[in-house]
Chain A
Amino acid sequence: MHEYSLVEALIGRVEAEARRRQALAVHGLSIRVGELAGVDPELLRTAYETFRAGTVCERAELRLTTRAAAWVCPSCDAPIERGAPLRCPACEVPARLVEGSDALILDAIDLEVP
Chain B
Amino acid sequence: MCTTCGCGDTELVPVELHEKILAGNDRTARHNREHFLEAGVLAVNLMGSPGAGKTAVLEATARAAASKGWRLGAVSADLATDHDAVRLERAGIPSRAITTGQACHLDAELVHRALHDLPWRQTDVFFIENVGNLVCPAIYDLGQAANVVVLSVTEGEDKPLKYPVMFKAAELVLISKADLVPHLDVDVAAIEDALARVMPRPERIVVSARTGEGLDRWVAWLERRRLELGLVGRIAGLAGHVHPPGARGDRPAG
A interface residues (Cβ-Cβ under 8 A, vs B): 1-2, 5-6, 9-10, 12-13, 17, 21, 24, 27, 31, 36-39, 71, 83-87, 94-97, 102, 104-114
Contacts and interface: CB of A to CB of B under 8 A. Distances in A.
10 contacts: A1-B104, A83-B197, A102-B165, A105-B19, A108-B15, A109-B15, A110-B12, A110-B13, A112-B12, A114-B11
Interface of B: 1, 10-25, 103-105, 107, 135-136, 138-140, 161, 164-166, 168, 193, 196-202
Contact of B139 (A12, A37, A108): A37
Contact of A6 (B22, B198, B199): B22
Nearest to A86: B200
A87 B15 contact: no
Contact of A36 (B10, B22, B135, B165): B165
Contacts of A36: 164-165, 168
Given A86-B199, A114-B10, A108 B16 contact: yes
Given A38-B139, A38-B165, A111 B12 contact: yes
B201 A17 contact: no
B197 A84 contact: yes
A113 B2 CA distance: 10
Nearest to A18: B15
Nearest to B199: A86
